[in-house]
A and B are shown apart, each in its own frame.
Chain A
Amino acid sequence: MSNETTATTARRGQAPRGERIADWADGRLGIYSLAKANMRKIFPDHWSFMLGEVALYSFIIIILTGVYLTLFFHPSMAEVTYHGSYVPMHGIKMTQAFESTLHISFDVRGGLLIRQIHHWAALVFLAAMMVHMMRVFFTGAFRKPREVNWLFGFLLFVLGMFTGFTGYSLPDDLLSGTGVRFIEGVILAMPLIGSYLQMFIFGGEFPGHDIIPRFFTIHVLLLPGIMLGLLVAHLILVIYHKHTQFPGAGKTNNNVVGMPLLPVYMAKAGGFFFLVFGVIAVIAAVASINPVWAIGPYRPDQVSTGAQPDWYMGFAEGLVRVMPGWEWNFWGHTINFGVLIPILVFPLVLVAIAVYPFVESWVRGDKREHHILDRPRNVPTRTAFGVAWLVAYFVMLIGGGNDLWATHFHLSINSITWFVRIAFFVGPVLAFIATKRICLGLQRRDKDKVLHGRESGIIKRLPHGEFIEVHEPLNQEQLHFLTQHEQPEPVELGPEVDENGVRRKLKRSQKLRAKLSKGYYGEDNVIPKPTVEEYKEITSGHGHH
């Protein structure tokens, strides 16, 4: 303590103000040690690394605009008669929630803009998370040590959907009220506890007077609170693990090549926040979203055609729309499979992608850290699985909008529904096969490029009249890029009998693992990459075209 004082006294008048403030903070928070590790931290550069940033920034935009909206919104279901400045609604009965939404839209200057930014940012947020998740999936960035962060991201996606849904319900307009009614039906479909849950969640019979205030608390406090925590954890882990990088010259599993946080990424990432915010503000200026004044207040006996949830609920909506109406009655009880199966399939499909990293590491039997990203073609089975998952997702998105597809393209809604029912099962299988073949084809092309060079497009005529295309050999950087990936051996079951000639007992899980592993890394599922010997033999002059 005394040393510190003397040091400060000795330098009084010399240290600049900024340094003295930093000293003060360091003495209490230890900021110098923190900055030492992080200020010049290296981040690699790639356009696809910005997708997660879009998600982060739209989340911040949602929080900023959401706080503003709470200043004017009344989450109450008390009935009022409208007398505000939007004349067409005069004298119409509505809840305070809807009335205050009209107030924000027509009486608060800039209120409509903030409402539209809030809603647009929510759509962008979910879309960015989804695309970011796909980037991480297809490049294998979820591998050790990042599996936990994958789960954090997954939870953010799921919670984001529910935060979006509860927010969508708050204005209590005809569209969102219909969505809440749908939730009531889903709750009622739960065996045993359904009708009790419905009464407890709605505070009585639908719609009651409690659901909007309750959704409000969930939407502005509970879910965003959890999400904020997960988000901070997600970012801390990104910094702690250091970012993954694509393969290339000078990039190894033990380094990270890029530019420092200060100043390059401070400017790029900080600037990118403003870019995202600016673009969403312009969208909110020119594109109306959820015009509740055109939809009207909710009444349980009214509905409009073309009712659609926000896009991220389209998958669940599709499942509910195309499920056949199966219902079982027995011993005075009813199970509504028409609703129950979709709401079970919905989480299962999501969980399938959530647990994928653990499945793959088990199949591969690999305990090492992976910091170099995979090129999707080099892991055909994973890529094919991802594409199959996406196909299932988008087929259901079509199902969720089957009425709009029917009216826009003059198709029969029944045919669309049947198409979706079949394509949900067949589509992913076809996509899996096709993707795998495309990946293997791309691997063959890579191999060909390494061994025979790049097609130059120059046609040469040989003295004896033959035409050949000149192939340009690749440079070492390109050769390295195309051959750096690992090609793991499939997990083997070992001999069927042990050293004493007794049949070994194999667990079913071991057999499954060997089978899956063969499906990933077996000889039919990977094109062996060119070896140095092959390359030398061809390039040494006895090469054949």
Chain B
Amino acid sequence: MKPPPTSGRLRDAAALLPVLGVALLMPPVIRIFAADVEFAGLPLIVIYVFGVWLGLIAAAALLARRL
């Protein structure tokens, strides 16, 4: 099965997605959200980590559909 022709921009985006994930989930960025703050009764850091995670999944799903 030959893969359909893919635009260069999409391929670059696919390659850069994990880089973005690393930047968001590693110090120093993650330390910004480690503050002892609550948001709607939940700790900010929990919301942040799981939020970024869900964002990565959504982005990967979008890219997988179009790549």
Do A and B interact?
no
